Structure 1
Amino acid sequence: MLSVVLIWIYVLITTYLTGFAFLKFVTSLECMHSQKGSKGTYKKYNTHFRASFIVAGLVVNTVYAELFSIFAGVGIAANVLMIAFCVLIAVYYREELIGDFIDVSRLFVTGYTGYYYLLIFLIMAYGTSHGLMHYDSDLYHAQAIHWIEDYGVIKGLGNLHVRLAYNSASFALSALYSMSFITGQSFHVMAGFCALMLAWQCLDLKDIVRRGHPIISDFARIMGIYYLFMVFDEIVAPASDYFLSTFIFYIVIRWLDMNVKHERSYVPYIMLSLLGVYAVTIKLSAAPILILAIIPIYRLLSGKNPGKRKALLISVLLAFIIAIPYFIRNLIISGWLVYPVTAINLFGVDWKIPKGIADYDAKEIKVYGRGFTDVETYGDMPLSQWLPQWFAGIHGLNKIMVILDIAAIAIYLVCLVYFFAVAINKKTEFGKKKVFNISRHSMLNFADFITISTTMVVCLLFWLFTAPLIRYGEVYVCLTFAIIFGRLLVRGFNLLDADGIFAKRLIAITAIIIAVWVGYKGVNVVKEDMPRFNPDYLLVQQDYGRYEADTFQISGMTFYYPVEGDRIGYDLFPSAPKNMDGEIEFRGYDIFSGFMPLKN
């Protein structure tokens, strides 16, 4: 745990500094200034949440690690260079940063808020120190991170181990902060750190009592807390699913908060859209989240202000900067721009993974996601056959949530029809005028509700018809019904007398129920953790698994493969899931030249 805490402090400092510099630069651009009122002056947007600096820094440092990996291994040199940049940033912005530090320090003096954040920090660090290592982490996550640490990127690496072609930006981020160059142990703390960001964001749920009424983001936060309890004993693993889910939760919650508060500036919406692009580089299944970019694009294209056009061009440029390193790594590792999608075949490189292998791999992902393992039998099964079997295989709360999602989609369709009917017949400007007369300003307007609901429904359906393993799409399963039903509940509450006894008692009872539920889940987490408790993990994080292995050689270089099964862990490097002798070869004389399929 101590190792996790120390690395997290390093992560907090470096991400805060790089994120601070990035957001300061973007908001300083004149085209990013917002007009106050229809005829007001243009003012610079001020970032309201310090967590935004950290999240922005995670994106900046990930892109940095990906770019660095194209030229060299991401190890001590990458960290030294990053630290040098951070020192320059700290010196340049020293007065503002000192002011921020003083403001944060006041959280521990003027109330209990600072201690709440510290407590969550320590709890999440404990959860990240040990737990259930994900099967895929010992299968290929650890090896993928090891390759980035030692070599950066190698041409045709996917030919050695097809799973290594599953490129994810999260692996580059994990390699940057693994600290393997210090002790030889590669620490895997970044999935837990992303979970920490979500946990801190969910802490704002406590404001429901002070506020005296619910808002729609409260329901997203409740599901975020539920998700954190579900994965608390798993965030020790560097699986991309945890990175993706926590970022999707973050995007949706922050988007709901801004819309409820009727944020006028388009800058924070641009930043969330860029975070959506980043989420896609973690896992391509997040692509539908980019629907939320409709809001800033519409705002930037509306009107005749040339500054908005410039802001749009800068936003597109930033999106490309985030995405291009990911696609370059894809091409180098697999020979395909988007592996295992073979429909996009733009490059005839000699290290390309054979099309047949890529197509089979894509089918295997789809079949596995539907709950089957036999690709030959279930690979081409029609929807009418696999969907009932998939649904029957879901149990417990997951099945209940899927049923709630189905009901929520039905409600969404009714709302969508109503939205367009009113828009066509009455020419209502939904972005400016609310469809319902409500007494509160802190309610998501109908057009924004349709936008976020459409995004979540499309995300859910995209997941369902590609690879509907619950682990892959838990975030969509949780958020879809929470947002749609949440707005109905908020609408119902707003019909009550806010200052009445019933409304106050309802809020108090709700707060008590949430507190009891969190306490109950917390007790269960402690009970489940007790058999796994090891005092050694209070100092050093649990390592990857270790397995018995055999060896094979390629041009005199030794490679490892597991004697049983297909997992190999981190230490035995380089490795493959099986003996690849006679199947692949070096493109040149050594490993730096890359791998290619053996020519017949």
Structure 2
Amino acid sequence: MLAVLAFALIFFPLCGLYGRAYLRLAARILRFEPGEDNPTVTLLAGIIALTTLAGGLSLALPLDWRAFSVLILGGAAIFLVGSRGGWLTLRQPTLPRLSGWNWIAGLVLALALLTVLENATHQVANPDTGIYHAQAIRWMEEFPVVAGLGNLHSRFAYNSHWLVLNAVFSLAFWGGQSLHLVGAMLFGLAVWDFGNGLRRWLLGERSIANGLRTLLLPLSFYLLGSQTSSPGTDLPVILILWLIIPLWLEQGSISPPQSSIRALLIFSAAVFLLTVKLSALPLLLLAGWLMLVDVRHQPGRILRWGFLGLFLLLPWLARNVILSGYLIYPFPALDWFNVDWKIPYETALRESQIIRAWARLPNVDASRVLEMPLVEWLPVWFSDRTTNQRLILLLAAISPAGMGGVWLLARLKKGHWTGQESGWIGAYLFSMAGALYWLFNAPDLRFGYGWVILLIALPLAGLMSRLVGGLQGSPELMVKILLGVGMLAVHLYFLTASFEGRTFSQRWLLPPDYPLHATVPCPLENGTVLCAGEESYTQCYYHPFPCIPKPIEGVEMRGTDWGDGFRAVSVP
């Protein structure tokens, strides 16, 4: 646990430096005035900038001490230049005024952060980490991006930039284990933001944005708490989506310089999440909307927005081509490169079909599933969900009625919808578009939780703002007491339920290393790697290396070294 705290003392200051520099540079590109110094905005921008730079470095360097040193030196340079230029100043933090509600919100936040710290030191629970996350990180630590690595194992070609960030901050070069703490850092940032939303709501700032943050605080632990210790790619998509939607809701209530910087951050996060997981594709609708709102009076600025988006995507696209031979994998329609390491077209097409079919009905032949009409596979898919999952889906399905009811209530009360709340319906429609895209393409719930939960939470946040927010006197006090005590009870439960006392003595200093699973030699056409043993259930984790889940035919090394890459060959 002490290592997690020490890691945070490196990670967050570095994110802050790169975030300030990125926002300032991007504002110059877009000709925006400098805006707010919001910690959530700045740190998210830093995560985006560090990931993009690490992706660029991975084209030429292993993500080891050399790449990490470049980022540290870059941070030092930003600090020196920013301090001399006057745009990077350390402001004295302002402490909230002492009050009972601040104390309650502070206790909730403390319990939530302790739960993040506890969960960060658990054994990795995400099965995909054993199948390919950990090995993909190991490849990045050992070599620059490897040509045709997707031929060795197709999931290596998925190329999530979240794994790039995990690799450069794994600190494996220190001689110990490869750390996987970046997810916990993002979770901590989200908890801080959501907890501040609860504090502001209790103190009277009862906007929809703060109501949404309040609701998302316990939901994040309920859905994602077990993923805190994993470098998995579902957690960042969901948490960053949940962070930027409240920021978007607040757009109308802040001054133009601040709103411009916030729009810049939301646009950047929407584009960035595409490089984390392709299931985030609907976020490009939000990026496009923000861009169109800005350029409607200045059409020439569209080129500047396009340049910024390309800057964020270029390292990811380059890595895609090197890993798979395709601009985006597994979308074989974007077959623009004739390189010898290209994954065969039929393999890429089959991979795409399997992803969609498995998300619908995992135990049925992919070709048959994809031929089924919606009315055939959807009832079977729904019946295969757990009771809790079915309840969540049903609540999302009836959420339009909830939105309509809250809107009608606001009209009847003749309440004034502030500028901060004007995007409420737009945020809901955007979430609905994301949920429909998820449902009709690859409806694995872990891909869609971000959208589905927003469909439920947005009407409730509106109700908190319009109905509860309008109460006065004793009813208002009773609601605040119930909310504060309820949040304390819920987060105390999360902390006690997740605490692993029997392993604490092994975790108080360092989080546990990746599990060690049995492997067997696996021949290639002209070499040998390792495969997960039969008792390992296709999971290799981090040691030994290189390891793939199961034997593969028709693949050869492109040279004498693993770093030379792999290519497919015809098999008699």
Whether the TM-score (by the shorter chain) exceeds 0.5 is yes
Deviates more, 1:262-271 or 1:476-485: 262-271
Deviates more, 1:362-371 or 1:144-153: 362-371
Q: State whether structure 2 residue 273 is matched by structure 1 residue 279.
A: yes
Measure the CA separation in 1 of the matches of 2:402 and 2:168: 45
Contact 1:367 1:373 (8 Å CA) reproduced: no
CA RMSD of aligned residues (A): 3.1
Give me the whole-angstrom Cα distance separating, in 2, the residues matched to 1:58 and 1:32. Answer: 21
State how far apart, in whole Å, the 2-side matches of 1:435 and 1:156 are.
62
The corresponding residue for 2:518 is: 548
Quote the offset at 1:122 in angstroms.
Answer: 4.4
Q: 1:220·1:482 contact (CA, 8 Å) conserved in 2? A: no
* Deviation of 1:274 (Å): 1.2
Shift of the 81–165 alpha-carbon distance from structure 1 to 2, 3 Å rule, reads same
CA distance in structure 2 between the aligned counterparts of 1:261 and 1:436, rounded to whole angstroms? 25
Deviation of the 1:94 alpha carbon: 2.8
Q: Answer yes or no: is the 8 Å Cα contact 1:199–1:228 preserved in 2.
A: no
Q: Which residue, 113, 125, 135 being the options, matches 1:133?
A: 125
Question: Which residue, 484, 498, 504 being the options, matches 1:534?
Answer: 504
Question: How much does 1:525 deviate?
Answer: 4.3
Pairing partner for 1:571 from 524, 543, 549: 543
**Which residue does 1:439 correspond to in 2?**
416
Tell me the SS of whatever aligns to 2:530: strand
Matched, 1:405 2:377: no
Q: 1:385 aligns with which of 366, 376, 383?
A: 376
Three-state SS of the structure 1 residue aligned to 2:378 is helix
Q: 2:545 corresponds to which letter in structure 1?
A: F
Q: Deviations over 1:338-391 (max 9, x none)?
A: 211222222222211122222222222222212422334534332111111111
Describe the SS at the equivalent of 2:22: helix
5 Å-filtered alignment, 1:278-427, equals: 278-303=272-297, 308-309=298-299, 311-376=301-366, 377-409=368-400
2: CA distance, partners of 1:27 / 1:283: 26
CA distance in 2, matches of 1:443, 1:78: 41
Gaps of 5+ in 1: 34-44, 419-433
1:169 to 2:176 alignment = no
Is this contact kept in 2: 1:2–1:539, CA < 8 A? yes
Letter in 2 for 1:5: L
Out of 455, 458, 462, the residue aligned to residue 487 of structure 1 is 462
Alpha-carbon distance in structure 2 between the residues aligned to 1:199 and 1:75: 30
Question: Residue 517 of structure 2 contacts residue 539 of structure 2 at CA under 8 Å; is this kept in 1?
Answer: yes
Other-structure match for 2:66: 77
Match of 1:51 among 37, 40, 63: 40
Report if aligned partners of 2:55, 2:161 keep a CA contact under 8 Å in 1.
Answer: yes
- Which amino acid letter does the alignment assign opposite residue 384 of structure 1? V
Contact 2:526-2:557 within 8 A present in 1 as well: no
Amino acid at match of 1:560: L
Instruction: State the match for 1:25 in structure 2.
Output: 25
Does the C-alpha gap of structure 1 residues 555 and 109 become closer, same or farther in structure 2, counting only changes over 3 Å? farther
**65-74 vs 467-476, greater mean Cα deviation:** 467-476
Counterpart of 2:55 in structure 1 is 66
Which residue is 1:426 aligned to? none
> In structure 2, what is the Cα distance between the partners aligned to 1:137 and 1:323?
24
In structure 2, relative to structure 1, the CA distance for the partners of 1:364 and 1:396 (3 Å cut) is same
TM (norm. structure 2) is: 0.89
Mark the CA change 1:379 to 1:29 in structure 2 (over 3 Å): closer, same or farther: closer
2:236 equivalent to 1:266:
no
1:256-296 deviations in whole A, cap 9, x for unaligned? 23335576743311221111000111011111122223543
Structure 1 position 227, deviation (Å): 1.9
- Normalising to structure 1: TM-score of the pair? 0.85
Deviation at 1:442, TM superposition (A): 5.9
Q: Tell me, what secondary structure is at the counterpart of 1:543?
A: coil
Is 2:218–2:490's contact at 8 Å kept on the other side of the alignment?
no
Tell me whether 1:596 sits opposite 2:571 in the alignment. Answer: no
CA 1:119–1:79 in structure 2 vs 1: closer, same or farther (change >3 Å)? farther
Distance 1:242 1:457 in 2: 20
Q: CA deviation at 1:588?
A: 3.3
1:509 aligns with 2:479: yes
Checking the alignment, whether the CA contact within 8 Å between 2:171 and 2:179 is kept in structure 1 is yes
Separation (CA, whole Å) in 2 of partners of 1:537 and 1:289: 38
Q: Which amino acid aligns with 1:573?
A: F
Task: Kindly provide the CA deviation profile for residues 406-464 of structure 1, in whole angstroms up to 9, marking residues without a partner as x.
Answer: 11245669999x9xxxxxxxxxxxxxxx999533536512xx23321221001111111
**1:171: how far off?**
0.6
Relative distance call for 1:32 and 1:179 in structure 2 (3 A) is: same
Q: In the alignment, what sits opposite 1:587?
A: 558
Say which SS state the counterpart of residue 521 (structure 2) adopts: strand
Give 3-state SS (helix, strand or coil) of 2:499's partner. helix
Shift in CA distance, 86/381, structure 1 to aligned 2, threshold 3 Å: same
Tell me the amino acid that sits aligned with residue 230 of structure 1: L
Contact 1:554–1:585 under 8 Å retained in 2: yes
Q: Aligned pair 1:236/2:229, yes or no?
A: yes
C-alpha contact 1:178 1:186 (8 A) present in aligned 2: yes
Aligned residue type for 1:398: Q
String of CA shifts for 1:183-208, please: whole Å, max 9, x gaps: 24110011111111110110121211
Flag structure 2 segments of 5+ consecutive residues without an equivalent: none
Residue equivalent to 1:159:
151
> Of the candidates 416, 435, 451, which is equivalent to residue 476 of structure 1?
451
Q: How far off is 1:297 after superposition? A: 2.4
- 1:107 — aligned with what? 95
Distance 1:158 1:439 in 2: 55
1:432-471 aligned at under 5 Å gives the runs 437-439=414-416, 441=418, 444-445=421-422, 448-471=423-446
Alignment of 1:181-200 (within 5 A): 181-200=173-192
Work out the number of aligned pairs and report it. 560
Which amino acid counterpart does residue 510 of structure 2 have in structure 1? V
Q: Which moved more, 1:6-15 or 1:557-566?
A: 557-566
Following the alignment from structure 1 to structure 2, what is the Cα–Cα distance between the partners of residues 102 and 212? 24
Matched residue of 2:128: which SS?
A: helix
CA deviations 1:5-38 (Å, max 9, x no partner) are 21221111211111112223334568213xxxxx
What is the aligned partner in structure 2 of residue 37 from structure 1? Answer: none
1:78-134 alpha-carbon deviations (Å, 9 max, x no partner): 111111111111122237999854513x53998978976676544422221114521
| C-alpha spacing 1:232/1:9, structure 2 compared with 1 (3 Å) | same
Q: 1:558 to 1:384 in 2, by over 3 A?
A: same
